[in-house]
Each structure stands twice: as C-alpha cells, then as structure tokens.
Amino acid sequence: MHALVLLLLTQTPLVATTGYVDSRTTGAWTQLDGAPGVTELGEANVQVKLTPDEKVKFYADVSLFWQGAWAIQGGDKDLANYRPSIVVSELYADLPLQEHFRVLVGKKRIVWGSGLSFNPTDALNPPKDPTDPTFQRAGAWLAETEWGFEKVALSLVAAGRATRTYAGLPTALVVYPDHPTAEVVRGIATDDRDEEAHFALTGRLYLLLGDLDVNLIYSYTNLYNDAFRAKSRVGLSLSRVFGNLEVHAEGSLYQGSARIAVNGDCVSAPVMCALKGIPVVTRPDLDATWFNSQALVGARYQFDDSSTLAVEYYFNGEGQDFTGYRRLATLSLQNPAVAQQALGGATDPGTPQKFTLNAIRRHYLVIQGSKPQLWDDWTISGSALIGLEDLSVQLVPQVSWMPKEWLQLTLAAYLPIAGLESEGVTLNDKHYGQFTLSPFETRVLFQARAFF
Amino acid sequence: MTTSLLLALMLTAEPPALKEVLTKYDAVMAPATFKATATMTAHRDDGTTRGYKMNILKGADDKSRIWFQEPAAVRGQEMLRNGENFWVYMPNLKRALRLASRDNFQGGDFNNADVLRASYAADYQGTVKEDAAKPETWLLELKSTNPDTSYDSIKLWVLKSPLGIPVRGEYFTSSGKMLRSAEFSDVKDFGNGHKRPSHVVMRNEIATQRFSEMHWDAVDTAAPVGDGKFSLSDLGH
C-alpha cells in the first residue's frame, strides 16, 4: 500500500506543464523620433516538459508576444520592434544516456558564470537586462555533451547562430541561405548575407574545490554574437558562501576588441561620409594582439528577514574611452539609426526586455535590493545601474504584490539620471549621460502576470 | 502493576549517550537515503497562507535535492545540498545560485538547513537529561560544533521509546535568543520500518504571528537513489 501511494505521489509525470500570461503596459516620456509614448506587450508563455522515458526528455519554453505602440514621436508609425513575434526561449531534447553523461540538442540557455547582472564569460546567449536578469530565458541553438559528477563536470558545446528568422522563428543556422530575402530583392532592405560560418565552440570544466565553485571556460567563436572572427577566449568563474554572504567573481580574457570607433569627422554628417565612401564607424582593434578582458566581482547578502542586497562591479574591456564615448554619444543623439546599427549588430535579442543596455563605457556598478513580505505579499525592490565614469544612473524602483499565489502585479519606474556634465555630452544646451541617450526619458511600467 | 513498573523503570533510567540519541534522531529525520513528497504551508502575519509541494531526494553523505511542484510561480525551482554547499536552481535565470544554509526556505519559517540538512550527530555536542515536565522524553541540550550550522544551540525533546523521535525543538542564536520552535507530531509508519513525525510546525519566535507547517506525505527509504542527481550540472534537467 505504501509503495503504491509513493509510486503515485513521486513518479515523474509524463507531461509537466507550466507557464503564464503577462501584460506589460508602459508609459514613457520620449525624446527621440521613433519612440512610442505608450506600449502594451502581451505575452502567453508555455513551458512543457515531456518525459516519455528515463533516457529522453523533451522541453519547450515558448512565448507568443503581441505588442502595440501608440503616441509615437516622429512620422514613422510602424515600428519593427513592436510587432507581434514568437520567442522560442528553449526547445531541446535532453538525453541522459548514463547516470553521469548526457547529450542535449536544441535551443537552450546555458550559463556557467556566477555574475548576476552581467556574465563576461557568456559567449552563447542573448544579452540580459542587468536591472532584472530574470527576464531573459532565451538560449542558443546548440548541441551539448556533459559529464557531470558531484565535484567535477565537463561540458562541451557547439552552437550555431540563427542567420535568418521570421517572426522569431529560425529558418537558417550557421550560414546564410543562398537566396536573399524578398525585401532585399525589392530593394527595401540591405543584403547582410556573407559566406562565413557563424558559430561558437565552448567548453567548461567545473570543480567544487572545498566549498568553492570554480568554472574554467574556453570559447572559440566566429562571427557569432559579436564581430570577432576565429576568436579564442578563456574565462574563470568563482562563487563561495561565507555565512549569509555569497561572493562571486567572473572574468574573460582575450585578444583585441570588437568595440566600434566613430570617425570624428562623420559624427555630424554621417550621410556625407557615406556618400564619399568614408566609413562612419570602424572596428580597428578586431585583430589586435593586445590582451583585453571583461570582469565582474560581486556579493549577495541575505538578511534575517529575507531581504537581499547584491552589489556587483563590472569592468567592460569593450567600453569606450572618453573621446570615443563622446563621438558615439553625439552620433546616437544626432543619428540614432546609424548609431544603433553600428552598436546593435545582428545578434538574437531573445525575449523583449524591460531595459536594454549597450555597455558603451568601461566601469559599472550594479546595486540590487529587495525586501519581501513588507506587508502581506508586498515586495519592494530596486536596482541602480551606475556608470562610474560619468556617474550616470539608471534607477529602477519597483513594488510588487502577489494577491494570489498565481497572480503577481508589479509597478516599476525607469529613471535615467544624466550624471556629471563634464563627463557627458551636451547637445542643443541639454546635457546627456550614457543612460539618458535612450529614446526614452522616464518610463513607468505596470505588469500583471498570472501563472498556471 | 507491570505497566507501572515498566514506566517507573523507564522514567528513572540513566540517560543514554548523546551520540546514540543523535544518531537515532538523524536516522528518524534523515535516513541514509530516501525519496519523499512533502507539503509546506507558510502562515503569515496577516493570517493568509502559501502552500508549496515538493519532491525530495536524499542521498548518502549529506546530499539532498528538492524539486518544487507547486505553486505555479515556483514550479521548476530546485534546491541541491552537497555537504556544506547549498544551491538553488532558478528557472527564470536558467542557472543555479549559491545559498547560505541559514537562508529562509521559500520565505517560510524553516531555513534551508532545517529541510535539507539533519546531521545533528556530526554538528552538535551537549547533554542528555530528564525533563520533569515531559517525563516520556529526553531533553537534549545541544551546542553547535560546526560554524555552518543554522543554530548555535538547540533544546530538543525526543521520545525515550522509540528513542530519537522528536517531540519539540527550540532553536537559539549565539546570544541565547530563541529564533524558532518546532512541534513534531503524527508519528507515521512510512514502510520499510521507517517511522517519523509526519507533521512539523515551525514557529517564528521573532515574528510570533508566523509559522510554517511541513507535512510529509510519503517517504520511501528503499527507493534507489543514484549519485547523478546530486551534481550541480544536473540541476534544471
């Protein structure tokens, strides 16, 4: 009888389903053309785990997004970024062939680094929102083999970039299709195809040394999530708990830089430069042999009342010096489309984020705190992303309430602060810091999420 | 007459060795390996409750893993303990974070170590004595010998027979302040000769309106438990 009851209670269900429906309504004060004053983003997410056998599992995490944008500044009312889309965050087959060995094929987000707001060792995934890292679940198309034991694990991953997608669904991986898109044929889009393979090969060795998590990571990428060709990187990630304090560090070391350099003569007249055949932006250090790095150190503390405080410092070796930053910032304000094209690249953005950061400077401090159960299920939390050169700040205070176990309501504000005038740029008598270069000024967001 | 004599003998018996009692306690509350399902209900200050359902797997050598099934907002979360190391896998982050053993367990009044760790024989020293107010129990006064334990000292009342089954616990900080108290009840035979309290009420002695209940629905000490489930790389799979 006991055995029967236990079997019924503990056996792994064949299909396990979860998910949510979510609504994000945002009101914003805009400052650049193409920015909507009001947006609505509706998301229907389903996560399904299918376990037909002990030796095989299938998993899918898929969201349908409906987006609307109103009160748009400027003449262009059809904004590509606000069209409905499908985001396949994860979709894979997991084959635990032996107790300590598995093969995984499909799309999955694999994160080995210990950083919360940034992961300098992550060469695979779409970027996350440093003010709320939980909003990016999208991964990469890959195949992984992994040997995992209690104190050691070895993982090898081969990933291919989705070179063509429609409404978020990929139709080509690694290489571009032979044929151009219909938009290119009609002359309303540029042909961005090349004949190269866009891939990443990466591996990590995990060690539990005493009470310290150690990850040694090697990555080799070719035009994958950045402009580097045949680039090797080595990374290290550490994490340890001291009492109630968790301390972590993560870093990546490689040669050269993919940072863009804006031609100073073209900042005010990029079209003229283009007509003369002078590139507005270049990447002069792509093949440089000097060593570059990205690194993060941080700590997270939980208080007795379950409040948490996390502080992280991020060094971005891809960041601009002051001269480069001023040129890029001025270009962003005067010709945002040109700057965005230069900065944004063609990487998969993954899930639509509440806040997207182009880390264009070198030194950042991220402070995140939360106090749950302030009263009933009210939680207050906040993030501050601080650019340490210009003391520009992106402040995100937030209050959330769970009136039911299945319903979460959140009210948040996104408050950009320009920082030091001497370290910023001034245009038309207005001072800008790196977090006030966005098309938006202050934004207010209301979110309702119902879980099932 | 015989019953009275036995009771009198039991009540006047010499206390057993602390190590023996704690070893029995550990065997009751955390057998060497098992597979279980449990439900935790957190009662908050305002009278509302939150329920959590979970599957628990315990392996040899202080290894444990939990899969949360309910509510939907935490479904997919997992916890792993390996010795002094605790991690939580967050499905929204797609990765595991390190935890402190003292962190609250899902915001309730248990902490991670209360649920994932029961190795008092290794972690505590102290004395065993009678308690006139609870003559059917031994009172264990325990002092931590391990800086990683959640509580500096514990008062634990366990049944004299069967030895080791807890009845009540009081948990203190190093300053002597009582943080939590627990009542253990509804001793149930889960099969394979394993009996343990199926109901534990953990009271928060700081915020006295709060308490959490843990109900053990099923415990199988004969279930096969493979090592592969206790590797960090298995979380999320």
CA distance A364 to A433: 13
Check CB contact of B205 with chain A, cutoff 8 Å.
no
Interface test with chain B among A150, A211, A246, by most B beta carbons within 10 Å: A150
User: How confident is residue B119, by pLDDT bands cut at 50, 70 and 90?
Assistant: confident
Tens-place pLDDT, residues A105-118: 999 999 999 999 99
CA distance A217 to A148: 15
- Asked if A347 and A126 count as a contact pair (C-beta separation under 8 A), the reply is yes
Under 8 Å CB-to-CB from A88, ≥6 apart: which residues?
Answer: A60, A61, A62, A107, A138, A168, A169
Cβ contact (<8 Å) for B50 and A146? Answer: no
User: With a CB-CB cutoff of 8 Å, which residues 56-85 of chain B face chain A?
Assistant: 63, 71-73, 75-76, 82-85
CA distance A260 to A360: 10
pLDDT of residue A298: 98
Cβ contact (<8 Å) for B232 and A94? Answer: no
Is 50 exceeded by the pLDDT of residue B98? yes
Query: Where is average pLDDT lowest: B69-73, B89-93, B117-121?
Result: B117-121
pLDDT of residue A388: 97
Give the residue among B232, B231, B229, B202 at the shortest CA–CA distance from B214: B202
CATH number of the domain residue B33 falls in: 2.50.20.10
Structural domain boundaries, residue B198: 15-234
CATH number of A14-161+198-451: 2.40.160.10
- Asked if B94 and A139 count as a contact pair (C-beta separation under 8 A), the reply is yes
Helix (H) or strand (E) holding A156: strand A152-160
Is 90 exceeded by the pLDDT of residue B10? no
Which residue among A146, A239, A406 sits closest to B233, beta carbon to beta carbon?
A146
pLDDT above 90: percentage of residues in chain A = 72
**Residues of A in Cβ contact (< 8 Å) with B72:** 18, 20, 405-406, 451-452
Q: How far is B57 from chain A (nearest CA, A)?
A: 10
User: With a CB-CB cutoff of 8 Å, which residues 308-337 of chain A face chain B?
Assistant: none
Cβ contact (<8 Å) for B233 and A405? Answer: no
More confident residue, B22 or B2: B22
Check CB contact of A5 with chain B, cutoff 8 Å.
yes
Sequence spans of domains, chain A: 14-161+198-451
Nearest residue on chain A to B38, judged by CA atoms? Answer: A9
Strand spans (E) along A161-290: 162-166, 169-173, 199-209, 212-222, 231-242, 245-255, 261-262, 281-282
Cβ contact (<8 Å) for B231 and A405? Answer: no
User: How does DSSP classify residue A106?
Assistant: E
User: How confident is residue A347, by pLDDT bands cut at 50, 70 and 90?
Assistant: low
In-domain check, residue B116: yes
User: How confident is residue A405, by pLDDT bands cut at 50, 70 and 90?
Assistant: confident
Nearest residue on chain B to A130, judged by CA atoms? Answer: B93
Interface A–B counts its CB contacts (< 8 A) at 141
More confident residue, B3 or A31: A31
**Residues of A in Cβ contact (< 8 Å) with B111:** none
How many domains is chain B partitioned into structurally?
1
Cβ contact (<8 Å) for B233 and A20? Answer: no
pLDDT of residue A439: 85
In-domain check, residue B217: yes
**Residues of B in Cβ contact (< 8 Å) with A102:** 237
pLDDT of residue A37: 93
Is 80 exceeded by the pLDDT of residue B64? yes
Cβ contact (<8 Å) for A148 and B84? Answer: no
> How much is the mean pLDDT over chain A?
91
pLDDT of residue B4: 55
Check CB contact of A102 with chain B, cutoff 8 Å.
yes
pLDDT of residue B1: 47
Cβ contact (<8 Å) for B94 and A111? Answer: yes
Nearest residue on chain A to B71, judged by CA atoms? Answer: A405
ipTM over 0.85? The verdict is yes
Q: How far is A132 from chain B (nearest CA, A)?
A: 10
Check CB contact of A20 with chain B, cutoff 8 Å.
yes
Check CB contact of B105 with chain A, cutoff 8 Å.
no
Query: Where is average pLDDT lowest: A138-152, B103-117, B202-216?
Result: B103-117
The pTM assigned to this predicted structure is 0.89
Under 8 Å CB-to-CB from A170, ≥6 apart: which residues?
Answer: A141, A162, A164
Tens-place pLDDT, residues A67-86: 999 999 887 888 888 888 99
In-domain check, residue B9: no
Query: Where is average pLDDT lowest: A123-127, A196-200, A269-273, B227-231?
Result: A269-273
CA distance B142 to B157: 11
- Asked if B50 and B73 count as a contact pair (C-beta separation under 8 A), the reply is no
Q: How far is B188 from chain A (nearest CA, A)?
A: 11
* Mean of pLDDT values over A224-236: 96
pLDDT above 90: percentage of residues in chain B = 64
User: How confident is residue A377, by pLDDT bands cut at 50, 70 and 90?
Assistant: confident
Cβ contact (<8 Å) for B223 and A206? Answer: no
Tens-place pLDDT, residues A278-332: 888 899 999 999 999 999 999 999 887 889 999 999 999 999 999 999 999 998 8
In-domain check, residue B49: yes
**Residues of B in Cβ contact (< 8 Å) with A13:** none
pLDDT above 70: percentage of residues in chain B = 92
> How much is the mean pLDDT over chain B?
88
Check CB contact of A54 with chain B, cutoff 8 Å.
no
In-domain check, residue B182: yes
User: How confident is residue A1, by pLDDT bands cut at 50, 70 and 90?
Assistant: very low
Nearest residue on chain A to B95, judged by CA atoms? Answer: A111
Which residue among A9, A304, A306 sits closest to B218, beta carbon to beta carbon?
A9
Cβ contact (<8 Å) for B191 and A405? Answer: no
Q: Which residue is it, tokens 């084959």? A: A95
pLDDT of residue B166: 96
Interface test with chain B among A4, A11, A18, by most B beta carbons within 10 Å: A18
In-domain check, residue B103: yes
* Mean of pLDDT values over A130-153: 95
Structure tokens at A428: 């038309």
CA distance A450 to A43: 11
- Structural Rg of chain A based on CA atoms: 23
pLDDT of residue B83: 84
